[in-house]
Amino acid sequence: MAKLKLGVLISGRGSNLQALMEACAEATYPAEIVLVISNKADAVGIERAAAAGLPTLVIDHRKYPNRAEFDAEMTAALDAAGVGLVCLAGFMRLLSEEFVSHWHDRMINIHPSLLPAFKGLNVQARAIEAGARFSGCTVHYVRHEMDVGPIIVQAVVPIHADDDADSLAARILAQEHVIYPAAVKWIAEGWVRIEDERTSIDGSTPPMGILSNPSP
Ligand code: GRF
């Protein structure tokens, strides 16, 4: 079966891109990365992708008069590469309505909180500040509103009493690297259905049991 063609959008470190690259390196994985786009020339992730021989493109948003034209350039490149699924992976630009509409149900994002809690930025610090006992990460389809859209998968991590934002972010990031390739795999294999803005995943393993932190 033909592999699902991925376009990955990044702005920085690219550790989630790396996780997707490693998954795609497996012969049986049902997706392949056909284009990596960064809006920043110095993004570490773009170096990682180029070093691995992947097609990369820097589209510097500062060279475009407005968001719509920047986004149109990205869509043109993604379409030209035959992309079937756009994966946002630490892409730090807001997206225009046109872009989000064009990629409706064909664009996913990874976010380091258990959505719908803690949308936006600095979410690890905010979860600690709020006294939450758990946080985690979410892979979801992208809609016009930021960090909103049908949820595909979430992973939960405990928040420890001595956590700071960095230690929590690292614990969450390790799970991001697990669930992002998993979500892409399920989509590529046709397991994920969206109905009334909720997803169902056929063929998936049963959900985990009850989590408690601290343990009773
Ligand atoms: C991750 O925490 C991701 O959840 C968020 O941005 C960060 C990107 O990290 N959207 P990396 O560039 O993939 O290492």
pTM exceeding 0.95? yes
Residue ranges covered by each domain of the chain: 1-103, 109-203
Token reading at 171: 């614990």
pLDDT at 209 over 90: no
How high is the mean pLDDT of the chain? 96
Q: Pick from 16, 123, 153, 172 the residue to mutate for probing ligand 1's pocket: most ligand atoms within 8 Å of its CB.
A: 16
- So what's the pLDDT on residue 55? 98
**Which residue's alpha carbon is at the smallest distance from atom 7 of ligand 1?**
90
Bridge partner residues of 33 (DSSP) = 6
Same fold, 1-103 and 109-203: yes
14: Cβ below 6 Å to ligand 1? yes
Identify whether the C-beta of residue 160 lies closer than 8 Å to the C-beta of residue 131: no
- So what's the pLDDT on residue 97? 96
**Cis check: omega of the bond before 214, within 30 degrees of 0:** yes
pLDDT at 204 over 70: no
For residue range 79-134, list pLDDT tens digits in order: 999 999 999 999 999 999 999 999 999 999 999 999 999 999 999 999 999 999 99
With bands split at pLDDT 50, 70 and 90, how would you rate the model's confidence at 207? Answer: confident
Gap from CA of 122 to ligand 1 centroid (Å) = 12
| Phi, psi (rounded to 5 degrees) for 175 | -75, -35
Q: What is the CATH architecture assignment of 1-103?
A: 3-Layer(aba) Sandwich (3.40)
For residue range 42-68, list pLDDT tens digits in order: 999 999 999 999 999 999 999 999 999
Q: Pick from 92, 173, 177, 178 the residue to mutate for probing ligand 1's pocket: most ligand atoms within 8 Å of its CB.
A: 173
| Phi, psi (rounded to 5 degrees) for 159 | -105, 120
For residue range 119-171, list pLDDT tens digits in order: 999 999 999 999 999 999 999 999 999 999 999 999 999 999 999 999 999 99
Atom of ligand 1 nearest to the CA of 169: 2
Superfamily of domain 109-203: Formyl transferase, N-terminal domain (3.40.50.170)
87: Cβ below 6 Å to ligand 1? no
pLDDT at 208 over 80: no
User: Nearest CA to 19 among 11, 35, 34, 8?
Assistant: 8
The answer for residues whose C-beta is within 8 angstroms of residue 31's C-beta and 6 or more apart is 3, 4, 5, 6, 20, 23, 24, 85, 184, 185, 188
pLDDT at 206 over 80: no
Average pLDDT over residues 8-29: 98
pLDDT at 205 over 90: no
The answer for residues whose C-beta is within 8 angstroms of residue 59's C-beta and 6 or more apart is 37, 38, 39, 70, 73, 74, 77
Token reading at 153: 């998968």
